[in-house]
Structure 1
């Protein structure tokens, strides 16, 4: 393995402490630390909990609200350092590799389950690689979110004289100009760093394509980060920002979504979790609203995969280990995959379900998402979301957030200088 990550260094002292020292002695229980606390998310987790309990195991809920998972990660790190990690925790993307390098994740726990349930056949290799450490499954993926969506209120576009949802950046600008002229907010947006960078990664994907996106945000290639296409991306971001609501500062994404739903705004750039807001408003996909790939990204799919990682427990805790295995089996089962994704707005992570979405009762947006996932998995269009913890470390992601948010809020910012700052910030954060 490579040198220890910062996380591994911080938590290395945990190896000196007995993991079962303060663990609950009751047989067959599993504690789950997660941040699925919204209405739909909680409903889905309750289904998982009910099935685990039906199978005879005790569920200890460790829900930690707030911060998009940042608060939960702080709690998890604190517990790991004290030698008291939970049985299972929600961990995403490259963070799974960092946790694996600490030696705290259970590399043997899921071997039999994965083999019996044929996970290697059910999962796309890009997904299975995310949840493996040194070739062994250490986590179970529960869904796939698509990030490069544009949400459109067709009635608002019609009132503004826009015939159809834009498919290119030039069409996007033209539609946005008409929306502004008609008195609508062209682009609903919440002025928070992760939202700013969600827009930015969509723009980069549109300008540079999947290959350029990968070179920039996965490989962190200096030539790409400072090259002419990155400068063009910052130029495009500057223009996109002119269509955003002037009152966006600090606003949550769901408040911005409400403006599109209520007819105050025409469009929003957001991942498919936004669909839950439309569903809650009793709107129908394909009729009351449209979900289309962000203009210029129809041949790409930026993804965000939620996963549950298992922690290593002492061998004498056989009942608790069995509970971990049962939870993993249920989480990748058809029933939970369907319920969870319908509540979250995502799609199942199983390829067999992705190929038969209508059979499982998924709406038009989910069906389109699954079709594109399967297509892009074979042509290089499938790319991890930088803005949603899938492409790089949290330190590098934070550096990108700072540069992008400073740039998007400075009308005088220079695109070429922004590209140079982006590269310098990433180099410092590595």
Structure 2
């Protein structure tokens, strides 16, 4: 894979030097601070800097992006938007309501976005029928990452169902191995809740509860059972989970301190950064009982209206390069995701990426589901409300699953 990465980087240089542009500055807000994420973002910086533009990095730490979105909201309400901001589907709608987004229709026409992007990706880049954001990838969230040698050491089979997961976790715990690496942050807790929900229900229920926000579904016995499972899951974690970043949890799996982690495929960038062999040292498989679902997050860059002519040219250059095939390959090889373009050759990609492409193509449109926990399915307000209820329950053992379900209904209703 390193050979393919080097070739693609050389291709980026060749592409860059073939362009001459008016120099401008782009200020880009994002929350990518882990090793794999930084490496991926540097490929984009390279394109702009080598075209004569300058890149003003505006990184706000926090894996789920909550901190970054709070900063962005403050900037927008103060009338000083950045050139572009890393965001998700729900975020695009939120900022679109404020009338602050740039029109990218001309770029979309030039690059034929309706043809090169999957339909669900293409539509998410629009607000009121107008393109306002550029996708750089597709992340699958429902991944279980497994330290294969640890499971072999404990004579534990890789679990593919929730029932098998509980059995595996019990055996690992008895063997003195932490079954699940996790960080007690609201967005990470929300991911666990959502993955249990997918494994214990179905796509129809997911949509009724968290797309349509049907009160009967949100307060149903199924939701109560998911909360109960979340509490059970906590007993398979170590006691030092408070405010642990996701990549620190990933490194517990890398270092053999924990057997498994439930996390989106950006975790893969951490494994490959330390030369762990996917499919051998580290296994990737759908979260138990979710193999018929594809929970996705699309990293996109939302473009804001700016007035400076040179900076606007830099913004256009930035937008155009994001869907270049060479960049899509370099970026996604580093980030752990798969390209947003559906016409890419995947030979350079690893086994997990190839499985991700296969899954998004085969699970069926009705089972390709926007993720709740990282802003694809909801507004920022509803996303936050769900995470707060889940985290309050996760941290407080005196709250019953039934009480948590009632709190969830009220919180979602208040956020809409």
Aligned equivalent of 1:144: 138
After superposition, where does 1:11-410 map in structure 2 within 5 Å? 28-55=24-51, 57-68=52-63, 69-107=65-103, 110-163=104-157, 165-314=158-307, 317-353=308-344, 356-357=345-346, 359=347, 361-376=348-363, 378-410=364-396
| 8 A Cα contact 1:283 1:289, kept in partner | yes
Q: What SS does the corresponding residue of 2:138 show, helix, strand or coil?
A: strand
Find the aligned partners of 2:283 and 2:327 in 1 and give their Cα distance: 26
What is the CA-CA distance between 1:306 and the residue it aligns to? 1.0
Cα distance, 1:27 vs structure 2? 5.7
Deviation of the 1:391 alpha carbon: 1.2
SS of equivalent to 2:407: helix
Against the structure 1 CA distance between its residues 365 and 410, is the aligned structure 2 distance closer, same or farther, given a 3 Å change threshold?
Answer: same
**Could you list the per-position Cα deviations for residues 52-106 of structure 1 after superposition, in whole angstroms to 9, with x for gaps in the alignment?**
3434x41231322313433433443333334332222222221111111111111
> Residue 5 of structure 1 corresponds to which residue in structure 2?
none
Query: How much does 1:383 deviate?
Result: 0.8
Q: What's the TM-score, normalizing by structure 1?
A: 0.87
Secondary structure in 1 aligned to 2:301?
strand
Change over 3 Å in CA distance of 1:84–1:418 after alignment to 2: closer
Q: Deviations over 1:137-194 (max 9, x none)?
A: 101011111111111112111122213x111110001111110111111111111221
> Alignment partner of 1:380: what SS?
helix
3-state DSSP class of the match of 1:309? strand
- Counterpart secondary structure, 2:299: strand
Q: Which has the higher contact order (CA 8 A, sep 6+)?
A: 2
The SS at the match of 1:167 is coil
Unpaired segments of 5 or more residues in structure 2?
1-21
In 2, Cα distance between equivalents of 1:162 and 1:243: 15
Question: Is structure 2 residue 401 aligned with structure 1 residue 415?
Answer: yes
Offset at residue 202 of structure 1 (A)? 0.1
Structure 1 Cα separation of the partners of residues 316 and 328 of structure 2:
16
TM-superposition CA deviations, 1:304-348 (whole Å, max 9, x none): 11111112234xx54433322221111011111111111111111
Could you say if the C-alpha distance between residues 234 and 348 of structure 1 is closer, same or farther in structure 2, counting changes exceeding 3 Å?
same
| TM-score when normalising by structure 2 | 0.89
- What is the distance in 2 between the residues matched to 1:37 and 1:263? 23
Give structure 1 stretches of 5+ with no counterpart.
Answer: 1-25
CA distance in 1, matches of 2:218, 2:339: 33
Residues 104 and 117 from structure 1, CA distance in 2 versus in 1: closer, same or farther, beyond 3 angstroms?
same
- Alpha-carbon RMSD across the aligned residues, in angstroms, is 1.9
394-403 or 144-153, larger mean C-alpha shift? 394-403
DSSP 3-state at the match of 1:244: coil
The 2-side partners of 1:277 and 1:380 are apart by 31
Moved more, 271-280 or 320-329: 320-329
